[in-house]
């Protein structure tokens, strides 16, 4: 019967462990990959689990070949390619579960445990949140514990021992990881490209406005961006964050001008109250860079339009960090004739009663500012209600809202006011963005959530320029309907009108949410957005700011080698040695001093027999020692009990050189 080598001995628990690790690692990927890929992976995992209970179900080599072909065709059917972020990750997951079905010995499990790291790393192509990082670190430590268990020679290690070994290796690797993170030269562009994958779905403002578009967005409490002010923040009533600007109204929907990318920013007649700040904006799949109204200094590479939109070169598919300066008090210059005409275009469905309402505001030759004041008074005086659940509107939503339903959200009021002011020959435009911000005291920054999405109107008033007008602020407080689904989205919900006191459980939940957001913001700033400038600033703080890119590379190699060397020395020094091996090495060293050296790979018994044959006079010294050593090493005797006797017999081993 052939003897099985210890390294190929495989415990059922080891196969179950690697199966569980692969299943847990795939769970976060399921939301990003095609459903048919997830079904294939789930089927392979289920077959592997069933084979643990009934080994006869384990597929043979001839069944694995068509399964491999089916897995490859499944990925090609889902993505029509095997390259790119999603397709490449799907192919990797498919091949790993197929290798799981092929397990025959410990070598296969060890290979899967090594390749498992690539599956963990692929997660960061889709998500880099701190919670995911913690989850993957737990899986990494578990994988290290499995590899430590696979190194056991005789039998698997206890779970606690394997986890201790994995935790020790993980902690020892941290200094090297930190050194490489700090010193690795930062690049402006990635070293490789994964191709044009589909965009990940994101929520945020749209470039169009119609009833219901913002009220649906406000039900989301996800962060839109975070703000760090250079100085004291402006008052809450000035926290308007400017996004897309809409000019064209077709009767139901507002849209931007086709030439929104034109121009270089209209000059300002006055710009006071300048305030610098930094924004970290979540992916929006749009080009807008949100700015405090009104931006005067924009990031390099961005573009400022004539209506003060800040546009990036490409759509924001990842988080973006940038700095801006805005003027909180400003006065714009007069618009050119083309812009003024665009602000006066009327939709085709203006009704006589809409014109009659405006005619009442313009009686006795009222100027533009007076018309605006009368319009706001109309919304305040008449029974208009602010609600997130307005009734459905028909083919002429502006007319129906003004004279029939009178219930709506900010988009209803902004759209209606803009049309009415245009009827009064006042150029207007609709601005989409966010209003307000919530201070997170844990990080001394402000959070602007999707629930803060807002729409307002800008009207051209002689002597004042483009003036911001927020019609929802004119609604009487007693006609604001509180929506229970908004409670807990932020500190103030809706932010433009304040909120009632939250109960104790809600305050606790909100506090935990601020803690989680502070951790996420720190992770974004100090890890994901750790740029070349941040690296140079950190090195300058410790006196190494003179290092260039080549200097950083040399420093990284030197520091990495030093940390790695210290770690290896620590492991070598701290490794506990078997006292039996120590005594046998002393025994062999004493014989070597008289010319009786142990040969490579020579066992203790063979070594003793060769020495006794060459030096019969030493037989009384070496045989008692070797006899007890072999019983303690390979027999059932307790080494702890026999160690003192073995030390006594070692003292009697005093070989001398033979005289020639």
Give the percent of the chain with pLDDT over 90: 29
Q: What is the pLDDT of residue 10?
A: 66
Rounded CA separation 2/381 (Å): 97
Count CB atoms within 10 A of the CB of residue 631.
Answer: 14
What does the pLDDT average to over 625-641?
A: 81
pLDDT at 66 over 80: yes
Q: What is the pLDDT of residue 500?
A: 45
Mean pLDDT estimate for the chain: 82
In the chain, the largest separation of any two C-alpha atoms, in whole Å, equals 137
Distances (CA, A) of 315 to 2, 280, 288, 302, 311: 64, 15, 8, 12, 9
What does the pLDDT average to over 135-148?
A: 89
Does residue 470 carry a catalytic annotation?
Answer: yes
What does the pLDDT average to over 572-591?
A: 80
Does residue 454 carry a catalytic annotation?
Answer: yes
Rounded CA separation 8/12 (Å): 12
Domain map (residue ranges) of the chain: 6-157, 219-486, 579-651
pLDDT at 458 over 90: yes
Q: What is the pLDDT of residue 266?
A: 67
What does the pLDDT average to over 544-559?
A: 74
Least confident of 162-176, 177-191, 624-638: 177-191
Peptide bond preceding 494 in cis form (omega within 30 of 0): yes
pLDDT at 201 over 50: no
Nearest to 387 by CA among 477, 483, 498, 491: 483
Q: What is the pLDDT of residue 155?
A: 53
CB 82 within 8 A of CB 76: yes
Catalytic residue, chosen from 378, 412, 435, 454, is 454
pLDDT interval class at 6 (50, 70, 90): very low
pTM of the model: 0.67
Q: What is the pLDDT of residue 261?
A: 47
What does the pLDDT average to over 134-151?
A: 87
pLDDT interval class at 193 (50, 70, 90): very low
Task: Give the residue, 220 or 291, on which the prediction is more confident.
Answer: 291
Q: What is the pLDDT of residue 316?
A: 86
Q: What is the pLDDT of residue 450?
A: 86
What does the pLDDT average to over 139-143?
A: 90
pLDDT at 5 over 50: no
Tell me the two tokens of residue 634. 């390979």
Catalytic residue, chosen from 149, 293, 378, 410, is 410
Least confident of 244-248, 369-373, 490-494, 566-570: 490-494
Least confident of 203-217, 506-520, 571-585: 203-217
pLDDT interval class at 262 (50, 70, 90): low
What does the pLDDT average to over 343-349?
A: 92
Catalytic residue, chosen from 143, 306, 470, 517, is 470
Rounded CA separation 296/274 (Å): 8
Task: Give the residue, 516 or 611, on which the prediction is more confident.
Answer: 611
Summarize pLDDT for 81-109 with one digit per residue, the tens: 888 888 999 999 999 999 999 888 888 88
pLDDT interval class at 387 (50, 70, 90): confident
pLDDT interval class at 520 (50, 70, 90): confident
Q: What is the pLDDT of residue 569?
A: 77
Could you tell me the strand order of the sheet in which 295-297 lies? Answer: 295-297, 320-332, 268-281, 223-229, 445-449, 438-440
Rounded CA separation 245/207 (Å): 8
Tell me the two tokens of residue 611. 């020495």
Summarize pLDDT for 123-138 with one digit per residue, the tens: 988 888 888 888 999 9
Residue-by-residue DSSP string for 132-155: HHHHHHHHHHHHHHHHHHHT-SSS
pLDDT at 384 over 60: yes
What does the pLDDT average to over 489-502?
A: 42
Q: What angle do CA 411, 412, 416 make, to 5 degrees?
A: 115
Does residue 300 carry a catalytic annotation?
Answer: no
pLDDT at 555 over 80: no
Rounded CA separation 150/156 (Å): 7
Q: What is the pLDDT of residue 427?
A: 94
The torsion defined by the Cα of 536, 540, 546 and 549, in degrees rounded to 10, comes to -20
pLDDT interval class at 251 (50, 70, 90): confident
User: Quick one: three-class SS letters along 41-69?
Assistant: HHHHHHHHHHHHHCHHHCCCHHHHHHHHH
* Distance, first Cα to last Cα, the chain: 50
């Amino acid at each position: 019967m052939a003897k099985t080598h210890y390294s190929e001995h495989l415990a059922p628990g080891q196969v179950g462990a690697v199966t569980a690790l692969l299943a847990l690692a795939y769970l976060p990927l399921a939301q990003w990959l095609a459903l048919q890929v997830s079904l294939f992976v789930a089927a392979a995992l289920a077959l592997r689990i069933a084979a643990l209970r009934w080994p006869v179900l384990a597929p043979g080599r001839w069944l694995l070949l068509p399964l491999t072909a089916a897995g490859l065709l499944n990925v090609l059917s889902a993505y029509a390619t095997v390259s790119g972020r999603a397709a490449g990750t799907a192919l990797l997951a498919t091949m790993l579960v197929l290798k799981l079905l092929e397990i025959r010995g410990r070598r296969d499990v060890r290979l899967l445990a090594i390749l498992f790291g690539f599956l963990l790393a692929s997660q960061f192509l889709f998500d880099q949140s701190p919670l995911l990082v913690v989850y993957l670190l737990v899986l990494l430590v578990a994988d290290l514990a499995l590899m430590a268990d696979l190194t056991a020679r005789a039998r698997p290690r206890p779970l606690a021992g394997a986890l201790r070994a994995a935790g020790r290796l993980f902690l020892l690797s941290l200094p090297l990881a930190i050194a490489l993170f700090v010193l690795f030269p930062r690049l402006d562009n990635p070293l490789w490209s994964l191709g044009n994958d589909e965009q990940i779905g994101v929520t945020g403002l749209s470039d169009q406005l119609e009833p219901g578009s913002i009220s649906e967005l406000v039900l989301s409490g996800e962060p839109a961006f975070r703000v760090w002010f250079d100085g004291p923040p402006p008052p809450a009533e000035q926290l308007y964050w400017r996004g897309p600007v809409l000019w064209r109204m077709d009767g139901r929907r507002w849209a931007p001008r086709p030439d929104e990318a034109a121009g270089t920013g209209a000059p300002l007649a006055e710009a006071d109250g300048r305030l610098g700040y930094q924004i970290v904006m979540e992916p929006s799949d749009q080009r807008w860079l949100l700015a405090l109204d009104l931006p005067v200094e924009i990031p390099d590479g961005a573009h400022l339009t004539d209506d003060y939109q800040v546009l990036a070169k490409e759509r924001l598919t990842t988080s973006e960090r940038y700095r801006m300066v805005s003027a909180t008090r400003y006065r714009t210059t007069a618009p050119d004739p083309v812009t003024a005409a665009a602000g006066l275009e009327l939709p085709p469905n203006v009704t006589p009663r809409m014109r009659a309402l405006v005619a009442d505001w313009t009686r006795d030759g009222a100027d533009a500012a007076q018309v605006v004041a009368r319009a706001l008074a109309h919304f305040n005086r008449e029974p208009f209600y602010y609600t997130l659940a307005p009734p459905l509107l028909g083919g002429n939503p502006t007319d129906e809202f003004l004279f029939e339903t009178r219930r709506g959200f900010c988009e209803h009021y902004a759209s209606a006011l803009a049309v009415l002011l245009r009827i009064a020959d006042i150029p207007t435009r609709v601005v989409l963005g966010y209003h307000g911000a919530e201070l997170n005291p844990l990080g001394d920054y402000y959070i602007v959530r999707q629930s803060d999405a807002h729409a307002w109107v800008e009207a051209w008033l002689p002597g004042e320029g483009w003036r911001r007008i927020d019609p929802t602020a004119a609604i009487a407080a007693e006609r604001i309907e509180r929506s229970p689904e908004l409670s807990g989205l932020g500190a103030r919900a809706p932010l433009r009108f304040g909120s009632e006191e939250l109960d104790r459980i809600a305050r606790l939940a909100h506090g935990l949410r601020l803690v989680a957001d502070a951790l996420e913001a720190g992770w974004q700033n100090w890890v994901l957005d750790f740029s070349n400038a941040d690296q140079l600033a950190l090195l300058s703080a410790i006196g190494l700011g003179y290092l260039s890119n080549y200097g950083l590379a040399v420093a990284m190699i030197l520091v990495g080698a030093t940390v790695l060397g210290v770690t290896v020395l620590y492991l070598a020094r701290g490794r506990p040695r078997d006292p039996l091996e120590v005594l046998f090495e002393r025994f062999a060293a004493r014989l070597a001093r008289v010319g009786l050296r142990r040969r490579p790979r020579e066992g203790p018994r063979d070594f003793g027999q060769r020495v006794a044959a060459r030096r019969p006079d030493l037989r009384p010294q070496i045989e008692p020692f070797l006899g007890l050593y072999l019983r303690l090493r390979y027999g059932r005797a307790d080494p702890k009990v026999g160690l003192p006797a073995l030390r006594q017999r070692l003292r009697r081993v005093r070989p001398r050189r033979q005289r020639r």
